[in-house]
């Protein structure tokens, strides 16, 4: 089967800036990238690795230093035509004087409406759909400057959706959001990619969320190399850890997250199952213990009348505790 | 959508107020003419007092028309600058075009008292002098060209703002040098011009001003969609298909044409350009330029007509310069509006 033309593809792309006559290369060794319909791609990378620069370059906000970007197979687009293909959610703060949520979302129709910006029924139905999809109906008449960061993020997403483009790019959409909002936003984007067949590319620092939700991860390293692949592959082959891990930060491959504490090797034998086992292991690691096959310190997690209970055995002494806190007090 | 009926009520109210202001402006002056007499001048000219007919039609009507044109042009120019630069303090003079016009006038007036200047001023009156207008147009036009050339090379609007202010201050510095080396009489003439005047623009001059202002306003109206997009900042505007350089050129052209021509014909009139956009946003509670541009025209016109009527100091022979009145009436108005608003918008 011959692959159809991708929505977006790049060749020999080099991103960076011109300052005066000097060229500052941010990412000079990018592989050829592809965006397909219905795909959700997370762009990950440490601070300063060039995530925003790559997004800005792909979306046409800044020119590439060299290389080509093809959208639907074509590499030259006028700004007006490009706006019908790519919509953006940026980190720029918007507080437009006197602007209501409704009229801000309506601005998303800019590339489609006439020269005075009058809206027809197709425009209005797109706006309504975008407002419903993002669940900001109750905010419609609010002024932009009265919104919280999270609400404002959703409104900007609604504006981009109203633009109704096959490609949607978001620059750190989860920044400033609380955890449930982050999860909801990610879930919404995932759903949108599936249901509307949009290609969604977002940069984020939420590694664990990205690992869960992304169809593909683009991993930018400081220095400008980029690895792409299914998130699980990148974890398994160590690319993920290599991108972020420094001497004091380690990646826990089993849990899929980075460890705040440095692992120490106080041996402990741990037995049990279910969530209680999982959380006990986490607590023990935080306290500097590492579960091993055989150790003097022996901890067993059991269920008794629906509640977990921790049984400790150390050089003949035994004890029974009903919380992890008590357990940790005893063993450390 | 409860906004629409409210907007209609406000629109009707403003139109009535505009009509009243227009009539009030016609009736006030060194001689006070009653409303009834003014209506008679227009409706049945044969029965009207010929002197009053001359005063109303020959002097006050052109002056009121000038106020309408200047009110529209300056406030729409101010609105465009505030949106383009995302700065609530911007006004049409921020591009340096007004200062450019002043430089042209200063060059003529302070040019060592050349015979041509003195003759022209004596013969034609100061504000009505073609020479002065021509000089101001040349000054404003060349500043506009300079600003446009620079704007092609600048990346963003913040830089544009700084460049505009710099050009303005260079121009004002040049004027100061000129003033420093001129004799007091000439400096006084120039100072009088800077107070602004709506009178003296009649006949052919008024038609020219009208044509130029209508062109400027048409360009402004056509740029309303771009202005809306610019509310979100340049990056978002670009992502919606706007070409920031093109938009900047169109908007700078429109504002320069408006501010340059009005300054050339009336002298620099301050305050209207900065205050009226705020009043329009407050009264019409919208950010859409399709509504704000006509709203600015309405409010700017009304405000300038009222200012002109007050400048006549009813019952006295004295006429205060229009520039003084716009600030004295305008500033408290803006402060009052800000106090009524619960929050001051940040940009």
pLDDT digits (tens, 9 = 90+) for A80-101: 899 999 999 998 888 766 889 9
Residue with more model confidence, B315 or A8? A8
> Average pLDDT in the B4-15 region?
83
pLDDT digits (tens, 9 = 90+) for A245-277: 666 667 777 777 776 666 667 888 888 888 888
Residue A108 CA neighbour count, 13 Å, CB half: 32
Q: What is the pLDDT of residue B127?
A: 46
Q: What is the pLDDT of residue B47?
A: 79
Tokens, residue A121: 């029924």
Interface contact flag, B346 A79, Cβ < 8 Å: no
Interface contact flag, B231 A96, Cβ < 8 Å: yes
Q: What is the pLDDT of residue A101?
A: 92
Q: What is the pLDDT of residue B116?
A: 54
Q: What is the pLDDT of residue A215?
A: 92
Return the SS3 of A301.
strand
* For testing contact with chain B, the best of A86, A107, A124 (most B CBs within 10 A): A107
Query: pTM for this one?
Result: 0.84
pLDDT at B346 over 50: no
| Sign of the dihedral defined by the CA atoms of residues A97, A102, A107, A113, in that order | negative
pLDDT at B329 over 50: yes
Q: Across all residues in chain B, what is the average pLDDT? A: 84
Interface contact flag, A92 B233, Cβ < 8 Å: yes
Tokens, residue B284: 């019409």
pLDDT digits (tens, 9 = 90+) for B270-289: 889 999 999 998 888 888 99
Q: What is the pLDDT of residue A92?
A: 84
Q: Distance between CA A241 and CA A46 in Å, rounded?
A: 11
Interface contact flag, A111 B229, Cβ < 8 Å: no
Residue pair B101/B107 in contact (Cβ under 8 Å)? The answer is no
Interface contact flag, B231 A113, Cβ < 8 Å: no
Q: Judging by DSSP bridges, how do beta strands A22-27 and A167-171 pair with one another?
A: unpaired
Q: What is the pLDDT of residue A2?
A: 47
Chain B residue with Cα closest to A104: B232
Q: What is the pLDDT of residue A88?
A: 94
pLDDT digits (tens, 9 = 90+) for B111-143: 655 555 555 555 555 444 777 788 888 888 898
Q: Distance between CA A94 and CA B220 in Å, rounded?
A: 23
Q: Distance between CA A125 and CA A130 in Å, rounded?
A: 9
pLDDT at B166 over 50: yes
* For testing contact with chain A, the best of B232, B245, B288 (most A CBs within 10 A): B232
Q: What is the pLDDT of residue B258?
A: 93
Distance from CA of A61 to the nearest CA of B (A): 7
Give the residue ranges of chain A where pLDDT is below 50: 1-2
Residues in chain A whose beta carbon is closer than 8 A to a beta carbon of chain B?
Answer: 59-61, 78-84, 86-88, 90, 92, 94-100, 103-104, 107-108, 110-111, 113, 115-117, 145-146, 163
Q: What is the pLDDT of residue B347?
A: 45
Q: What is the pLDDT of residue A247?
A: 61
Q: Which residue, among B94, B59, B2, has the nearest Cα to B308 in the 3D structure?
A: B59
Distance from CA of A79 to the nearest CA of B (A): 5
Q: Which residue, among A137, A19, A61, has the nearest Cα to B242 in the 3D structure?
A: A61
For residue B267, what pLDDT band results from cuts at 50, 70 and 90? confident
Interface contact flag, B242 A96, Cβ < 8 Å: no
* For testing contact with chain B, the best of A85, A97, A99, A153 (most B CBs within 10 A): A97
Residue pair A204/A173 in contact (Cβ under 8 Å)? The answer is yes
Residues in chain B whose beta carbon is closer than 8 A to a beta carbon of chain A?
Answer: 82, 88, 222, 224-225, 228-229, 231-233, 235-236, 238-243, 281, 285-288, 290, 343, 345-347
Residue with more model confidence, A264 or B155? B155
Tokens, residue B201: 């623009």
Interface contact flag, A104 B232, Cβ < 8 Å: yes
> Average pLDDT in the B13-41 region?
86
Q: Distance between CA B101 and CA B78 in Å, rounded?
A: 17
> Among A84, A96, A116, whose Cβ lies nearest the Cβ of B287?
A96
Q: Distance between CA A308 and CA A302 in Å, rounded?
A: 6
Q: What is the pLDDT of residue A248?
A: 65
User: ipTM of this model?
Assistant: 0.81
Tell me the backbone φ, ψ of residue A304, rounded to 5 degrees.
Answer: -130, 120
Q: What is the pLDDT of residue B4?
A: 65
Return the SS3 of B188.
helix
Nearest 5°: CA angle at A257, between A252 and A259? 65
């Amino acid at each position: 089967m011959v692959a159809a033309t991708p929505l977006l593809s790049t060749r020999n792309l080099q991103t960076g800036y011109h300052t005066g006559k000097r060229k500052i290369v941010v990412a000079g060794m990018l592989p050829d990238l592809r965006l397909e319909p219905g795909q959700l791609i997370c762009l990950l990378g440490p601070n300063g690795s060039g995530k925003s620069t790559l997004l800005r370059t792909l979306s046409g906000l800044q020119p590439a230093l060299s290389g080509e970007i093809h959208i639907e197979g074509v590499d030259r687009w006028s700004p007006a035509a490009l706006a019908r293909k790519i919509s953006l959610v940026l980190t720029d703060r918007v507080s437009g004087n006197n602007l209501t949520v409704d009229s801000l979302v309506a601005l998303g129709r800019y590339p489609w409406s006439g020269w005075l910006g009058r809206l027809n029924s197709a425009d209005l139905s797109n706006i309504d759909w975008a407002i419903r999809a993002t669940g900001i109906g109750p905010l419609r008449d609010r002024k932009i400057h009265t919104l919280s960061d999270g609400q404002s993020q959703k409104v900007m997403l609604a504006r981009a959706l109203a633009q109704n483009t096959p490609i949607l790019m978001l620059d750190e959409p989860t920044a400033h959001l609380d955890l449930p909002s982050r999860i909801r936003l990610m879930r919404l984007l995932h759903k949108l990619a599936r249901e509307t067949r949009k290609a969604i590319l977002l940069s984020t620092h939420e590694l664990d969320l990205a690992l869960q939700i992304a169809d593909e991860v683009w991993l930018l390293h400081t220095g400008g190399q980029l690895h792409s692949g299914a998130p699980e592959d990148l974890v398994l082959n160590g690319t993920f850890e290599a991108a972020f891990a420094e001497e004091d930060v380690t990646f826990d491959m089993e849990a899929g997250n980075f460890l705040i504490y440095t692992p120490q090797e106080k041996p402990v034998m741990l037995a049990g199952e279910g969530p209680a086992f999982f959380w006990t292991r986490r607590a023990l690691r935080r306290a500097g213990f590492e579960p091993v096959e055989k150790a003097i310190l022996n901890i067993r997690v059991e269920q008794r009348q629906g509640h977990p209970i921790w049984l400790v055995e150390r050089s003949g002494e035994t004890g029974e505790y009903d919380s992890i806190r008590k357990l940790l007090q005893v063993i450390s | 959508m409860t906004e629409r009926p409210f907007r209609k009520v406000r629109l009707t109210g403003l139109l009535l107020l505009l009509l009243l202001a227009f009539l009030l402006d016609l009736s006030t002056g060194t001689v006070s003419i009653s409303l009834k007499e003014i209506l008679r001048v227009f409706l049945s000219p044969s029965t009207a007092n010929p002197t009053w007919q001359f005063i109303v039609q020959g002097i006050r009507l052109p002056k009121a028309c000038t106020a309408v044109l200047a009110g529209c042009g300056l406030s729409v120019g101010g609105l465009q600058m505030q949106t383009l630069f995302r700065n609530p303090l911007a006004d049409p003079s921020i591009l340096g075009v007004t200062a450019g016009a002043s430089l042209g006038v200063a060059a003529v007036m302070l040019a060592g008292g050349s015979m041509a200047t003195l003759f022209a001023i004596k013969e034609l009156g100061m504000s009505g002098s073609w020479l002065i207008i021509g000089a101001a147009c040349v000054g404003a036009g060349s500043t506009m060209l300079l600003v446009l050339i620079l704007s092609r090379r600048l990346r963003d609007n913040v830089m544009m703002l700084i460049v505009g202010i710099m050009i303005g201050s260079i121009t004002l510095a040049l004027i100061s040098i000129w003033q420093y080396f001129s004799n007091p009489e000439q400096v006084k003439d120039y100072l009088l011009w800077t107070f602004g005047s709506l009178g003296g623009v009649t006949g052919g001059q008024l038609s020219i001003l009208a044509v130029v202002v209508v062109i400027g306003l048409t360009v402004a109206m056509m740029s309303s969609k771009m202005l809306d997009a610019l509310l979100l900042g340049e990056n978002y505007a670009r992502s919606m298909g706007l070409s920031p350089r093109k938009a900047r050129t169109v908007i700078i052209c429109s504002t320069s044409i408006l501010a340059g021509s009005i300054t050339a014909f009336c002298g620099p009139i301050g305050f209207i350009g900065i205050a009226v956009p705020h009043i329009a946003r407050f009264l019409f509670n919208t950010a859409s330029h399709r509504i704000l541009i006509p709203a600015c025209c309405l409010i700017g016109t009304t405000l300038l007509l009222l200012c002109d009527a007050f400048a006549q100091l009813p019952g006295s022979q004295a006429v205060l310069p229009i520039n003084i009145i716009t600030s004295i009436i305008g500033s408290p108005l803006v402060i009052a509006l800000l106090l009524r608003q619960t929050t001051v918008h940040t940009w």
